[in-house]
Amino acid sequence: MTYIAKPRLHHPSLAKNRVGFTRRDYEGKISTLCAGCGHDSISASIIQACWELDIEPHRVAKLSGIGCSSKTPDYFLGNSHGFNTVHGRMPSVLTGAYLANRDLIYLGVSGDGDSASIGLGQFAHVMRRGVNMTYLVENNGVYGLTKGQFSATADKGSRSKKGQSNNDAPIDLVTLALVMGATFVARGFSGDKTQLVPLLRAALAHQGAAVIDILSPCITFNNHSGSTKSYDYVREHNEAVNRLDFIPLHEEITADYAAGELVAVRQHDGSVVHLRKLHADYDPTDRIRAMSYIQEHAARGEVVTGLLYVDPEAADLHRQLGTVEQPLNTLGAAELCPGAKALEKINASLR
Amino acid sequence: MQKIEAVNDFVVKFANINGSGSASANELFARAILRMGVPVSPRNIFPSNIQGLPTWFEVRVTEHGYLGRRGGVDLMVAMNPQSWEQDVREIDPGGYLFYDSSKAVPRARLRSDIHVLGMPLTEICNDTYSDSRERQLFKNIIYVGALTTLLDIDPQEIEKLFGEQYKGKEKLFDSNLQALNLGRDYAREHLKPIALKVERRDRVGDMVFTDGNSAAALGCIYGGATVCAWYPITPSSSVPEAFERYAQKLRTDPVSGEKRYSIVQAEDELASIGMVIGAGWNGARAFTATSGPGISLMAEFIGLAYFAEIPAVLINVQRGGPSTGMPTRTQQADVLACAYASHGDTKHVLLFPEDPCECFEMSAQALDLAERLQTPVFVMSDLDIGMNQRLCRPFAWDDSREYDRGKVMTREALDAGTDFGRYLDVDGDGIPYRTYPGTHPTKGGYFTRGTTKNAYATYSEAGADYIYNMQRLRQKFETAKSLVPLPVLTAARYPARFAAIFYGSTGPAMQEALDALAEQGIYINALRVRAFPFQNEIADFIAAHSKVFVFEQNFDGQLTTLLINEAHVNPASLIPVLHYDGTPITARFITQEIAERVARLNVRPLRENMVA
């Protein structure tokens, strides 16, 4: 962390995006996390992705639970509304917010304690319902704010800073998301922004429940040897299945790839995800295969990253409910109140 | 032997087996009497069970319009061998027992001080119908037929009700009518007449007959709720179910089929209140319905909504507690749990509806209050009014009424340079301005947290900021007093030293008890509390009497505690009178308790105009 305030003035030569904002306009308050925290790299990636996607900052609502990761929404998109909710319950609050206004972009930020322990139920159910959101799990396998207890994503046999060994089986959030019906499932690494930024861009554009499990080492409590969530360990065991190019609707496809190397997935809104295959046999539109692939590699001690699954025909909660296009929070008495005459009819039916 | 004689003033109790289809037949019986212009007050006394356990349906026929539970039974319709002993025991001396005599009942299992009417219902059904489900269902209609003859209920009214129910289903209409007449004919030919009678009157007027849960749901429709998130729990589940039913009719675009509402059945109560809070934060009117255990689960979130100042409406249909408690029994036992729900220093607005009409009004009002005060608001219904059909004033709505969306700062105001501090008291009423997410590209955004913040919603753990916030919240709660419904006074005919305070579903029984007490020369001023925070009128009322009986349907005297804590009244002047066995409080209970206590306080009326 730093205590030196960032200057408010921006250099006039800073590049602006299509909606007139510089990258700095997507920043937030100064982080209060530890220097070198993986979470700060994720915040920087979010800033980058939103700027590149030409999202107006105030059209994003960022919600979080409790924990180090859940503090981060204060550190990016400073002009957006944010909501630091209760521990493990961000998904329900976000669901309600999404019901109220389907027009905003919803970013849920959570950690492994928040999502895999206390909030495992809400994590699962928000996927089932297809809430149109990007759900980020900043996963470090440890409770930071309460100083170093194992979380439910810690691998069996992983050692804590104090030298204890973890005896419980880990929860793999990407597998769970796949089982629960998430329509965009990815895993990233906070130490690899080249991979993470395109994943974030594609997830933000996805019209359905998108989850990215981001391995984000805890520099203070979980970066020692013997930990399976340290920078070194993740770098050594990272098996990226693909590299992503995300092309929004308005951009032309310019990248040039050798034949057979590239998979193009067109999403519901018309945007295209281009995947450069790193593993020839990996098909990211096959949910069942994705699950077994992840498990096979996990058994070999490898952490599979990249875009693991995408359903281009994802349907979101509002579509399933059949609600009006106009956000519910903009409807007034004229649209909502049936009036005295209708009430008289109801009275008559109750006599 | 004595014979209970009554016209339009008696209690019929049906003892049935859960799942046998008796409920709709019994309701038909009640409605037919209503259609004759005579008020009725039915109560469904049911087990936590789908099929097989005993269930009762009590119909109070009451020309005076006393809609509380009276206590006692004049005519028992005993259709359940399982509960026979208990049912026969419950009949008042001189009362009547109607039963299925297909199988002979030994004399020892009957009573000599009641009049017994046996009808071989099973035999008649077995002779008439071959299908087993028909035998069961029509048995109910046949006994209703017999009762119409015994009690002089106009069969034309039942025929009309059949006509409404089976519109376009001629076959069902005919078969039901046939069963009804089968019962009528048998009763006329074989049963001795009884001295309970229904006579046509005009005492129902324009009143409507409905249950509090449906009414609360309708209130949410009229009040503009667009988000409903809930988790099934007895006795509240029929609130969101009715909301869906009404919304399908009243909030669905007839052309496109698009819905101007959303309903999510959540995975638990934690998620349902989370969704309500998320929607409230984002500017939609949202509510949930639950019961005591749900409130306990929601407690953490309720504290967040209180401190983060987010509108939320909770309809709490109270049941017997604590813990899983008695889910199919009624109580008013969540008063303290809701008033102070959550950790830390929290206080919440409570509304206490008396009947379905107030469930409608207060649910709609709660949506206004929640947005005006930016806080959770509880509608404290209970099983007795929530799940029973009750005669009440018709619903009314003023078309010129606007929704009170509270203090919301707009994009225009922000552009005009208005200072925006999310938790800043600019008007002196403790209520700050809020912005909806997505309002303005560069202004008005803020980060929502619980307590660690200053008036501009910036992170702060400074003591002074915390104190500012807490004092403002106290000011806001003071403001709430001027917005919530006032108490309703029923003044005694003569100046009275004693008074009663009551709330919610106790209302009808209390009104009846006050009449009965006046007949005994005991005059009591009665105040029906309709909301928390308590207005000064309540403390003044208590101070004006030497003793005040506080009637509550719970064990701990929860409203009494709240009055002492929050209205700062003299504890010695309050006498809690508690009814907590899970059944609705009765006028007989109230009358007896007051009469005894007044006698113990050594006060006797000496002359007509010198009264207790």
Using an 8 Å CB-CB cutoff, list chain B residues near A333. Answer: 224, 401-403
Task: Give the position of tokens 């919803």.
Answer: A106
Rg of chain B (C-alpha set)? 27
What was the pLDDT predicted at A283? 87
Cross-chain CB nearest to A338 (options B222, B227, B435)? B222
Separation of alpha carbons B62 and B69, rounded Å: 11
By Cβ distance, the residue of B260, B283, B304 closest to A86 is: B304
Q: Which residues does residue B13 pair with via DSSP β-bridges, in sequence order?
A: B58, B76
pLDDT value at residue A144: 87
Residue of A nearest to B165 (CA): A349
Beta bridge partners of B551: B577
Strands annotated E in chain A: 60-64, 81-84, 105-111, 133-139, 142-143, 149-150, 184-189, 209-215, 238-240, 242-247, 262-266, 272-277, 303-310
Phi, psi of A253 (to 5 degrees): -85, 115
- Please give the residue of chain A at the shortest CA–CA distance from B261: A323
List Cβ neighbours of B547 (8 Å cut-off, separation of 6 or more): B497, B498, B499, B573, B575, B601
Report which secondary-structure segment, H or E, holds B364: helix B356-373
Domain boundary among B463, B484, B505: B484
Q: What is the mean pLDDT of chain A?
A: 90
Interface residue A125 vs chain B (CB under 8 A): yes
Contact flag B283-A100 (C-beta cutoff 8 Å):
yes
**CA–CA separation, B384 vs B392, rounded Å?**
14
Tell which A residues from 31 to 70 touch B, by Cβ distance under 8 Å: 56-59, 61, 63
Q: Are residues B359 and B499 in the same domain?
A: no
Give the per-residue SS3 of A173-191: HHHHHHHHCCCEEEEEECC
Query: CB B278 to CB A98 under 8 A?
Result: yes
What is the structure's pLDDT at A342? 98
Determine the pLDDT at residue A64.
97
Instruction: Sort out which chain A residues have CB atoms less than 8 A from B221's CB and list them.
Output: 336-338
Q: Does B181 share its domain with B300? A: no
Residue A1 confidence (pLDDT): 47
What digits encode the pLDDT tens for the residues B142-153?
999 999 999 999
Considering the domain architecture, whether residues B348 and B386 belong to the same structural domain is answered as: yes
Judged by a CB distance cut-off of 8 A, whether residue A1 touches chain B is no
Measured between CA atoms, the residue of chain A closest to residue B446 is A81
In the prediction, which pLDDT does B396 show?
98
- In this structure, the strands spanning A272-277 and B9-17 are unpaired
Q: Kindly state whether residues B183 and B223 are assigned to the same domain.
A: no
Contacts of A73 in chain B (CB under 8 A): 447
Strands A272-277 vs A262-266: parallel, antiparallel or unpaired: antiparallel
CA distance A215 to chain B (A): 26
Edge to edge, the sheet with strand A242-247 lists: A242-247, A272-277, A262-266
* Under 8 Å between Cβ of A170 and A153: yes
Mutate which: A55, A85, A318, vs B, most B CBs within 10 A: A85
| Nearest residue of A to residue B35, measured between CA atoms | A351
A-chain residues near B445 (CB < 8 A): 58, 78-82
Q: Kindly state whether residues B309 and B280 are assigned to the same domain.
A: yes
User: Are B243 and B360 found together in one domain?
Assistant: yes
Do the Cβ atoms of A340 and B396 come within 8 Å? yes
Query: What are the pLDDT digits (tens) for A158-184?
Result: 999 888 999 999 999 999 999 999 999
- Cα–Cα distance measured from residue B499 to residue B487, given in angstroms and rounded to the nearest whole number: 14
- Examine residue B535 and state whether it is found in any structural domain, yes or no: yes
Q: Which residues of B touch A82 (CB under 8 A)?
A: 445-448
What percent of chain A clears pLDDT 90, i.e. is strictly above it? 72
Q: Which two tokens stand for residue B162?
A: 């059949």
Q: What is the pLDDT of residues B205-227, one digit of tens each?
A: 999 999 999 999 999 999 999 99
Q: Which residues of chain B does A96 touch, with a Cβ-Cβ cutoff of 8 Å?
A: 227, 229, 274-282, 284, 286
- Report d(CA B511, CA B68) in Å as an integer: 9
User: Quick one: which of B50, B516, B439 has its CA closest to B282?
Assistant: B439
Bond prior to B533 in cis (omega within 30° of 0):
yes
Are B412 and B559 members of one domain?
no
Residues A294-306 have a mean pLDDT of 90
Q: Do B215 and B91 share a structural domain?
A: no
Instruction: Residue B448: list chain A partners with CB under 8 A.
Output: 81-84
Contact (CB<8Å) A89/B250? no
d(CA A125, CA A136): 15
Interface mutation target, options A337, A345, A347, A349, chain B, most CBs of B under 10 Å: A337
Chain B CA closest to residue A57: B441
CATH number of A23-347: 3.40.50.970
> Is residue B399 a part of any domain in this protein?
no
Identify all chain A residues contacting B446, using CB atoms and an 8 Å cutoff: 81-82
Rounded Cα gap, residues B158 and B181, in angstroms: 11
Categorize the per-residue pLDDT at A258 as very low, low, confident or very high, splitting at 50, 70 and 90.
low
- Same domain for B387 and B437, yes or no, is no
Q: Within its chain, how far is the Cα of B336 from the centroid?
A: 18
In this prediction, residue A181 carries a pLDDT of 95
Residue B537 has phi, psi (to 5 degrees) of -55, -35
Inter-helix orientation angle A120-129/B269-281, to 10°: 70
* Residue (of B427, B433, B441) closest to B457 by Cα position: B433
A332 contacts chain B (CB < 8 A)? yes
Name the minimum distance, in Å, from the CA of A180 to any CA of chain B.
13
User: Which of A:226-285 have CB within 8 Å of B?
Assistant: none
pLDDT of residue B141: 97
Confidence of residue A257 (pLDDT cuts 50, 70, 90): low
B86 secondary structure, DSSP code:
H
Cβ-contact A297, A307 below 8 angstroms: no
Same domain, B154 and B73: yes
* pLDDT tens-digit series, residues B473-524: 999 999 999 999 999 999 999 999 999 999 999 999 999 999 999 999 999 9
CB contact under 8 A, B266 and A323: no
Residue in B closest to A77 by C-alpha: B445
Q: Considering only CB atoms, which chain B residues are within 8 Å of A339?
A: 397, 399
CB contact under 8 Å between B284 and A101, yes or no, is: yes
What confidence tier does A245 reach under pLDDT thresholds 50, 70, 90? confident
Minimum distance, in Å, between the CA of residue B529 and any CA atom of chain A: 27
Whether B401 maps to a domain, the answer reads no
Burial tier of A146 (Cβ tally within 10 Å: 0-12, 13-18, 19+)? exposed
CA A205 to chain B, closest CA, distance in angstroms equals 18
Residues A337-349: what's their mean pLDDT?
97
What was the pLDDT predicted at A27?
Answer: 94
Residue to test with chain A: of B447, B448, B454, most A Cβ within 10 A = B447
Identify the helix (H) or strand (E) that includes residue B307.
helix B292-308
Is the CB of residue B254 less than 8 Å from the CB of residue B274? no
- ipTM over cut 0.90: yes
Of the residues B484, B508, B540, which one is the last residue of a structural domain?
Answer: B484
Q: Quickly count: other Cβ atoms within 10 Å of residue B505's Cβ.
A: 30
Selecting from B204, B250, B403 the residue whose C-beta is nearest the C-beta of A333 gives B403
> pLDDT under 50 in chain B at which residues?
none
CB contact under 8 A, A57 and B268: no
What pTM did the predictor assign?
0.94
- pLDDT score recorded for residue B52: 85
- In A, minimum Cα distance to B209 occurs at A350
Chain A residue nearest residue B451, CA to CA: A84
Q: Do B435 and A81 touch (CB under 8 A)?
A: yes
More confident residue, A13 or A191: A191
Tell me, yes or no, whether B479 lies in a domain: yes
For chain B, how many structural domains are there in total? 4
For residue A3, what pLDDT band results from cuts at 50, 70 and 90?
low
Contact B403/A325, CB-based, under 8 Å? no
Same domain, B113 and B139: yes
Residue B471 belongs to some domain of the structure: yes
Separation of alpha carbons A290 and A308, rounded Å: 6
- Torsion sign over Cα B438, B443, B447, B452: negative
From B484, B502, B531, the end of a domain falls on B484
Domain of residue B116: give its range: 6-197
Sorting pLDDT into bands at 50, 70 and 90, what band is A252?
Answer: low
How would residue A253 be classed by pLDDT, with cut points 50, 70 and 90? Answer: low
Contact list in A for residue B267 (CB cut-off 8 A) is 121-122, 124-125
Q: Which residue in chain B is spatially nearest to A118 when comparing CA positions? A: B270
| Partner B contacted by A115 (CB < 8 A) | no
Q: Is A217 on the interface with B (CB under 8 A)?
A: no
The residue of chain B with its CA nearest to that of A336 is B224
DSSP B452: S
Same domain, B586 and B502: yes
Residue B261 lies inside a defined structural domain of this protein: yes
Interchain CB distance below 8 Å, A82 and B448: yes
Position B323 in a domain:
yes
What pLDDT is attached to residue B51? 81
Measured in angstroms, the CA of B329 and the nearest CA of chain A are apart by 25
What does the pLDDT read at residue A249?
Answer: 66
- In a domain, residue B576? The reply is yes
Contact (CB, 8 A) for B60 and B384: no
